[in-house]
Amino acid sequence: MAKQVVSDSARKRRRPTKQGAVLSEQLIMETALRLLRHHGSAGLSVRRLGAALGADPSTLYRYFRGIDDLTLAIADELIGRSFHGWEPTGDWWRDLHSLGIRSHAAYLDHPQAAVLSASRVSGRTSEKAAVDTILGILREAGFPDGAAVRLYRAFVDQMLAFAALDGAELALPEDVRESDRQLWRSAYAQLPAETHPHIAATAGLLVDLSDRSAYPDALELLLDGARTLLHRLDAKRESATS
Q: What DSSP line would sit under 140-174, residue for residue?
A: HHT--HHHHHHHHHHHHHHHHHHHHHHHHHHTS-H
pTM of the model: 0.85
Average pLDDT over residues 106-118: 92
Average pLDDT over residues 1-14: 48
Res 20: pLDDT: 56
**Distance between alpha carbon 182 and the CA centroid of its chain, in Å?**
27
Contacts of residues 78-84 at CB distance under 8 Å and 24 or more positions apart, as own/partner, are 78/106, 78/107, 78/110, 78/113, 78/114, 78/117, 79/103, 79/106, 79/122, 79/126, 79/127, 79/130, 80/125, 80/126, 81/106, 81/109, 82/106, 82/107, 82/130, 83/126, 83/129, 83/130, 83/133
Res 15: pLDDT: 58
With cut-offs at 50, 70 and 90, classify the pLDDT of residue 21. low
With cut-offs at 50, 70 and 90, classify the pLDDT of residue 19. low
Nearest in space to 64 (alpha carbons), one of 19, 39, 28, 114? 28
Res 139: pLDDT: 98
Query: Average model confidence (pLDDT) for the chain?
Result: 89
Res 3: pLDDT: 45
Average pLDDT over residues 80-84: 94
What is the residue extent of each domain of the chain?
8-65, 87-171+212-241
- Whether the CB-CB separation of 97 and 158 falls below 8 Å is answered with no
Q: Hey, what amino acid is at 7?
A: S
Res 41: pLDDT: 82
- CATH tag, 8-65: 1.10.10.60
Residues in the chain: 242
With cut-offs at 50, 70 and 90, classify the pLDDT of residue 9. very low
Q: Which of 38-52, 133-147, 168-182 has the highest mean pLDDT?
A: 133-147
Do the two domains 8-65 and 87-171+212-241 of this chain adopt the same fold? no
Residues 192-201: tens digit of each pLDDT: 999 999 999 9
Average pLDDT over residues 9-34: 73
Q: Is the pLDDT of residue 100 over 90?
A: yes
Q: Which helix (H) or strand (E) holds 15?
A: none
Res 181: pLDDT: 86
Q: DSSP string covering 24-64, please? A: -HHHHHHHHHHHHHHH-GGG--HHHHHHHHTS-GGGGGGT-
With cut-offs at 50, 70 and 90, classify the pLDDT of residue 29. very high
Res 2: pLDDT: 45
Res 1: pLDDT: 40
Question: Which fold, 87-171+212-241?
Answer: Tetracycline Repressor; domain 2 (1.10.357)
